[in-house]
Amino acid sequence: MNIGIVCYPTFGGSGVVATELGLELSKRGHEIHFITYNQPVRLELVSHNVHYHEVNVPEYPLFHYQPYELALSSKLVDMVKLHNIEILHVHYAIPHAYAAYMAKKMLMEEGINVPIVTTLHGTDITLVGSHPFYKPAVTFSINKSDAVTAVSKNLKDDTIRLFDIKNDIHVVPNFIDLDKYNHEFTDCQRGMMASDNEKIITHISNLRPVKRVQDVISVFYNIQKEMPAKLMFIGEGPEKENVERRCEELGIIDKVIFFGRSNEIDKILCFSDLFLLPSLTESFGLAALEAMASGVPVISSNTGGIPEVNINGFSGFLSDVGDVEDMTKNALHILSDANRLKTFKDNARTQSLKFDLHEIVPQYEAIYEDTLTKC
């Protein structure tokens, strides 16, 4: 198939899923066209059947806001015609599903029918999309999509609860390349980061308020009072300065390593002992899955779709949002006994096997085929 993928090219989970999906589909013989405003961060290797088409939005002083949706829909029209794209898969409803629908209507004027598959990722529904300023447009573009997928059962339920949805929503979870995160025979070079007696705790996110990074600091602060430990902090975002200031105030700044945005998540997870994800809301928690695939147990909140990924008492523990005491207790329970830590590490890897990309990517292919048959 000739597939157009529209996504955010950034480090966010939706962009990562879209990019990994496109790359895997290309390995399975499909022709993939990424259409977005920058080269997606995980798109390092462009091969003969992976193409990237940049959307340019010229600056014009009249516009207070430059019209990205307009530029995107025009680009989609041009690319569909030029490359005979058969199906458009848009990741994150805002504004991609809306722009794709406009492109579809324009193409129809020329007798071309291109079906749209929309994947809902989380904040496009839970935080942003349900805001009254966006809700009518988001409802419209979901209902006008030819197929809709959500990354967890919980996100599907939220979408049905928050919007007046007429379409079926297929649940297709986030997936993982299990080989990339298999560290069984890797020397993780742990010694570069910590001494043998120190435990390594890791957090990865875009450091937005929704990630509750202050809870990460609180849990880590409590852990390091009980045992030698270091915190690996990966990501950039609006909470970064507050985090740094709090680490200074608590006197733990020398125990926290800030990696910024990193393309070497797998290498950092390789030497990690525990992953913290105390989010306020999380439709799936791709970062937790990446940790688990690396054999790193997860201490998380029990919000959104996280319980579909992290299994309480098996791959880690789940607590109520903001319950730092419970998260600390659970973290210490896992870390304080070497045998128990080993069991949780093995369980985390076992749980991640349910999200093998070789099992999940064909689900998207089946949706494309079904949609093409119906449209």
Residues of this chain that interact with ligand GMT (CB under 6 A) are: 12-15, 17, 92, 121-123, 151, 174, 206, 208, 210, 281-286
Our CB check for ligand GMT shows the closer of 285 and 316 to be 285
364: Cβ–Cβ under 8 A, 6 or more apart, which residues? 21, 25, 89, 117, 149, 172
Whether the bond between 173 and the residue before it is cis, its omega within 30 degrees of 0, is no
Q: Tokens 């680009």 map to which residue?
A: 75
CB of 288: closest distance to ligand GMT in angstroms? 8
Amino acid at 345: K
Question: Nearer Cβ to ligand GMT, position 272 or 303?
Answer: 303
Q: How far is the CB of 121 from ligand GMT (least distance, A)?
A: 4
For the CB of residue 22, give the shortest distance to ligand GMT in the complex, in Å: 14
Yes or no: say if 92 and 115 are a contact pair by the CB < 8 Å rule.
no
User: How many angstroms separate the most distant Cα atoms in the chain?
Assistant: 68
By C-beta, is 239 or 282 nearer to ligand GMT?
Answer: 282
Smallest distance, ligand GMT to C-beta of residue 123, A: 5
Distance, in Å, from the CA atom of 332 to the CA atom of 339, rounded to the nearest integer, reads: 13
Checking DSSP bridges between strand 147-150 and strand 116-120, what pairing results, if any? parallel
Q: How far is the CB of 5 from ligand GMT (least distance, A)?
A: 14
Q: How far is Cα 30 from Cα 97, in angstroms, rounded to an integer?
A: 22
Nearest approach, Cβ of residue 245 and ligand GMT (Å) = 22
- Output 41 or 137, the one with its CB closest to ligand GMT: 41
Nearest one of 20, 15, 32 to 176, comparing CA atoms = 20
274-277/256-260 β-pairing: unpaired
Nearer to ligand GMT, 92 or 317 (CB): 92
Closest contact distance (angstroms) between CB of 120 and ligand GMT is 9
Measure the CA dihedral 21/26/27/30, to 10°.
120
Q: Closer CB to ligand GMT, residue 96 or residue 255?
A: 96
Cβ distance to ligand GMT smaller for residue 4 or 285: 285
Burial class (CB in 10 A: 0-12, 13-18, 19+), 91: buried
